[in-house]
Amino acid sequence: MTGEAAVAQKAGNYAIALPPITTIEVQGSDALFPVRRIYCVGRNYAAHAVEMGHDPDREPPFFFQKNPDNILPAGEDFPYPPQSSDVHFEAELVIAIGKGGKDIPLEQALDCVFGYGVGLDMTRRDLQGEAKDLRRPWEVGKAFESSAPCGAIVPASAIGHPDAGEIRLDVNGKRRQTGDLNQMIWKTPEIISYLSGLFTLAPGDLIFSGTPSGVGAIERGDVMLVHIDGVGELEVKVV
């Protein structure tokens, strides 16, 4: 920020109304978790990589981003997005960063975690597929309004760092996705350490850590229920 901009900010002198800060509730607290950036890990469960037509071998992780204001808080309905007729659910463990840095060593990575949440990486699969075919970026498929439902952040001080336990998703009471956090190809410390070599992580960053197999389409009226052992549940209705 230049000197002039800093002075303007101090005076609250914005040319337009200040955009709201996206926040997520913290379980067991009145405090809110402010969201800075949203990173997502692609193909982090072997069975999902296979179902998407890829080799499950341990290649370096890759990342894409959503926008902070794409968060859909717990309790709100998911509006079926425009320009797509193939919108998919992806149940994911969300890592909430409380302490940032760059080139974070593996053994210090978990110290950077504030807590964890139950999330959904909602995807316009048809638009993502077109983007892949045309070698274009993925934003149209991934970073649209309400594309990142996320439940309350549960502090690591309360639950530790879950690295095993069931992650599953039901649609209208029928099991659609089942996996275990211990199937993550890249574990939480590895994701944080690797990502911090590419970007400077900061408090408020969220990392959607990838989805197990079984992804599929939803329709208006469907109710998605995600459960992650030790973290919690998130129910979202499609409207």
Q: Minimum distance from CB of 145 to Mn ion (Å)?
A: 17
Binding region for Mn ion (CB under 5 A) out of 19-27, 99-107, 113-121, 222-230: 113-121
25 binds Mn ion (CB under 5 A): no
Contact 194, 136 (CB under 8 A): no
Distance in angstroms (rounded) separating the CA atoms of residues 4 and 13 = 11
* Chosen residue from 43, 97, 121, 194 binding Mn ion by CB under 5 A: 121
By beta-carbon proximity to Mn ion, the closer residue of 37 and 108 is: 37
191 binds Mn ion (CB under 5 A): no
Contact 120, 91 (CB under 8 A): yes
205 binds Mn ion (CB under 5 A): no
Contact 38, 65 (CB under 8 A): yes
* Chosen residue from 24, 25, 49, 90 binding Mn ion by CB under 5 A: 90
Query: Which position's Cβ is nearest Mn ion?
Result: 121
**DSSP per residue, 52-78:** TT---S-PPP-EEEE-GGGEEETT--B
Q: Minimum distance from CB of 15 to Mn ion (Å)?
A: 36
By beta-carbon proximity to Mn ion, the closer residue of 177 and 211 is: 211
Distance in angstroms (rounded) separating the CA atoms of residues 153 and 74 = 11
